[in-house]
């Protein structure tokens, strides 16, 4: 099969290597293709390079060698913590990218309000960050990433500090927003079940050097049908990803069941 060209992809890493000063080890080379509209989960042990791969795709860090390609369009990024401006209300936080882009004030307000409503916080526009729960703050961060109408959304473990019910609700919201807009998503997570549920495919990064060592498609259509977590095909894929993740780790860092 021919290698996809840049015009076929929304983003790609081609032999990307990141070298760090000793004693840290190099990450890569990483080869990763992201097609328009697909959802890809990156899974791996701590230090495997998941966040590094995301920074390369976001253009926040250049590779030491190889290429990081964002073919076209806008990119939104959500970090593990909401990173909201504590002195500004929710609407002002969401509006930040549009204000930086110099858009008309009325247009900025309308689009920011629409983006807040899309994540279920249309009535919290004047709320300050300290008045928001952890899940609400993450929704504001997500609204800020989506307000530019990105073609690629990068998520760096955004739900790690949230309880399981809040996490599930946010995943369902993301599926809904994705089904409306069909942006591509790259999602970093440690949670194997979450990765299989949320993504079209799960890419496992080797703990030794961050190279993709397995690329497993998730069964079933997105967004998921009600009760899909009980589907035997889902459970089988979770176990397959868990096995591949365990195989990606040196014996010294594996945890016995």
Q: What are the residue ranges of helices labelled H in the chain?
A: 50-58, 90-100, 105-118, 134-146, 164-181, 192-198, 232-247
Q: Report cis status (omega within 30 of 0) of the bond before 252.
A: no
Q: Express as a percent the part of the chain with pLDDT over 70.
A: 93
User: Does residue 105 sit within a domain?
Assistant: no
Assign residue 22 the CATH number of its domain.
3.40.50.300
User: Does residue 92 sit within a domain?
Assistant: no
User: Does residue 32 sit within a domain?
Assistant: yes
pTM: 0.90
Owning domain of residue 69: 6-73+151-253
- State the pLDDT at residue 60: 87
User: Does residue 94 sit within a domain?
Assistant: no
User: Does residue 137 sit within a domain?
Assistant: no
Give CA angle at 233 (157, 229), nearest 5°.
50
Q: Indicate the DSSP class of residue 91.
A: H
- State the pLDDT at residue 166: 87
Q: Report cis status (omega within 30 of 0) of the bond before 7.
A: no
User: Does residue 229 sit within a domain?
Assistant: yes
User: Does residue 174 sit within a domain?
Assistant: yes
- State the pLDDT at residue 1: 42
Low-confidence ranges of the chain (pLDDT < 70): 1-7, 22-24, 71-72, 251-257
- State the pLDDT at residue 70: 78
Task: Give the total number of structural domains in the chain.
Answer: 1
Q: Which class for 67: exposed (0-12), middle (13-18), buried (19 or more C-beta within 10 A)?
A: middle
User: Does residue 240 sit within a domain?
Assistant: yes
- State the pLDDT at residue 255: 52
Cβ(43)–Cβ(184) under 8 Å? no
């Amino acid at each position: 099969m021919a290698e996809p060209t840049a015009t076929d992809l929304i983003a790609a890493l081609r032999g990307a290597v990141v070298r760090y000063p000793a004693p840290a080890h190099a990450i890569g080379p990483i080869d990763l293709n992201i097609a328009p509209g697909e959802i890809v989960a990156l899974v791996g042990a701590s230090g495997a390079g998941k966040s590094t791969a995301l920074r390369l795709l976001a253009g926040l860090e250049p590779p030491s060698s190889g290429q990081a390609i964002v073919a076209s369009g806008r990119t939104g990024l959500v970090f593990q913590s909401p990173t909201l401006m504590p002195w500004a209300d929710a609407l002002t936080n969401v509006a930040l990218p549009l204000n930086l882009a110099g858009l008309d004030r009325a247009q900025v307000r309308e689009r920011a309000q629409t983006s807040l409503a899309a994540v279920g916080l249309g009535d919290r526009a004047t709320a300050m960050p300290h008045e928001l729960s952890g899940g609400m703050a993450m929704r504001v961060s997500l609204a800020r990433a989506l307000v530019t109408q990105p073609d690629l959304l990068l998520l760096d473990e955004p739900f790690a500090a949230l309880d399981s019910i809040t996490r599930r609700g946010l995943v369902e919201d993301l599926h809904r927003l994705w089904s409306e807009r069909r942006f591509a998503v790259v999602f970093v997570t440690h949670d194997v079940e979450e990765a299989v549920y949320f993504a079209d495919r799960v890419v496992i990064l080797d703990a030794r050097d961050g190279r993709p060592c397995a690329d497993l498609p998730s069964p079933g259509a997105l967004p998921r049908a009600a009760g899909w977590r009980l589907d035997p095909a889902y459970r089988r894929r979770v176990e397959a990803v868990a096995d591949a993740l365990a195989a990606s780790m040196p014996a010294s860092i594996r945890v016995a069941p």
